[in-house]
Amino acid sequence: MSNKIDQTLAQFNSGDVSVRLCEGMFSVMPFAPKFAFYNSFEGAASRVGGDVAGARQLAGSEDVGKAIWVGEALDTSDKLIAGFAGVKNLFSIFGGSSGGAPRKRTFEADQEQAADAALKGVGIAYMIYKLFPGDVAQKVKLFRETPAGQEIALFYVTADIALPFADNLVESGSAAIKKLFDSQNAGIASKFSQFAGADAFSQASGVLGQLTGTFEEYATKAKEYSGPVMSKLQSLLPSGASLLNAADSATGVAASGIDLLPVYTFLSARLAAEACALRAARGL
């Protein structure tokens, strides 16, 4: 039975730049789950257990479809995000931005990018709300127990917070994450509700209240590995041009006329697949 997760996973191959970028990032973080590429439900079930047929049955639900839809939107500026996908953040840090003195890497210095980072966090929280059963505490617990959940959280705090907003983390430590969401709350509430529906932000914000601690924990760890992460990614993607012009087999997205890599699409599909497999394994 084909479903949105199957269709999305099948678009990726092990040699795709998005895949290599994730594999490279996680390989230098000793606290990251061991990366295992797959492009089918069989791979997700092998990673977390569960019956493939049962997982695919869960994948056909409206909630899972909505989660995947939002996950794809995290790569697509004209649908949801202001235009600073995590890959574009990395490109800027690699030296692809305009010349001159390096800008101060704070939320205050770049409000548009800060709003983008906050919206992505809300989007991840919304996916958790849709993909996992139980109350908010149970949803977040299951997310943390899922390897793909750890992956998307690590990529998010590294690419969208720890690297582009390093000065905030130096100045405020893990409290910088809460500061980010508090500073952007009014704007992202309206924008996310317009995009995903009237109840979407309230659903996401309930999860975000408990998820912020996870983001803070991961950001504290990730910032200590920013140097090795950048070195690893530079070895995989040696120039801004090669990064932004790379064509994955998965359908690309466009933001400000630049083709960006569908990293969040890839990680969101893995999260959805593993959530369904985990639920099938535990009878949830």
**Residue-wise pLDDT tens digits, 137-155:** 999 999 999 999 999 999 9
Q: Residue 150: CA atoms inside 13 Å, Cβ hemisphere, count? A: 16
169 Cβ contact list (under 8 Å, min separation 6) = 161, 162, 176, 219, 223
160 Cβ contact list (under 8 Å, min separation 6) = 86, 89, 116, 117, 120
Fill in the DSSP letter of residue 94: I
Q: Which residue has the higher pLDDT, 275 or 108?
A: 275
Task: Give whole-number Cα distances, 41 to 13, 127, 152, in Å.
Answer: 14, 18, 18
Q: How much is the pLDDT for 88? A: 53
Query: Quick check: helix, strand or coil at residue 10?
Result: coil
61 Cβ contact list (under 8 Å, min separation 6) = none
Is the per-residue pLDDT at 162 higher than 70?
Answer: yes
- Least Cα distance to 267 among 42, 53, 46, 37 occurs for 37
121 Cβ contact list (under 8 Å, min separation 6) = 156, 180, 181, 208, 211, 215
- The C-alpha angle 150, 156, 161, rounded to 5 degrees, equals 135
Tens-digit pLDDT profile for residues 53-104? 999 999 999 999 999 999 988 886 544 444 444 455 555 554 444 444 455 6
Is the per-residue pLDDT at 30 higher than 80?
Answer: yes
Is the per-residue pLDDT at 47 higher than 60?
Answer: yes
Best-predicted range by mean pLDDT among 67-71, 114-118, 192-196, 251-255? Answer: 67-71
Q: How much is the pLDDT for 252? A: 35
CB 91 within 8 A of CB 244: yes
Question: Is residue 241 classed exposed, middle or buried when 0-12, 13-18 and 19+ CB atoms within 10 A define those classes?
Answer: exposed
Query: Quick check: helix, strand or coil at residue 72?
Result: helix
CB 89 within 8 A of CB 255: no
Structure tokens at 135: 């109350």
Q: How much is the pLDDT for 146? A: 97
Q: Which residue has the higher pLDDT, 158 or 256?
A: 158
Q: How much is the pLDDT for 257? A: 29
Alpha carbon 8 to its chain centroid, in Å, reads 15
- Per-residue pLDDT, averaged over 155-171, amounts to 80
Is the per-residue pLDDT at 161 higher than 80?
Answer: yes
- Least Cα distance to 280 among 59, 68, 130 occurs for 59
pTM of the model: 0.85
What is the maximum span of the chain, computed from C-alpha positions, in angstroms? 57
Tens-digit pLDDT profile for residues 189-219? 888 887 787 788 889 999 999 999 999 999 8
Which pLDDT band holds residue 113 (cuts at 50, 70, 90)? confident
Q: How much is the pLDDT for 254? A: 32
Main-chain dihedrals φ then ψ at residue 256, nearest 5 degrees:
55, 35
Percentage of the chain lying above the pLDDT 90 cut: 45
Q: How much is the pLDDT for 192? A: 83
Main-chain dihedrals φ then ψ at residue 14, nearest 5 degrees:
-65, -25
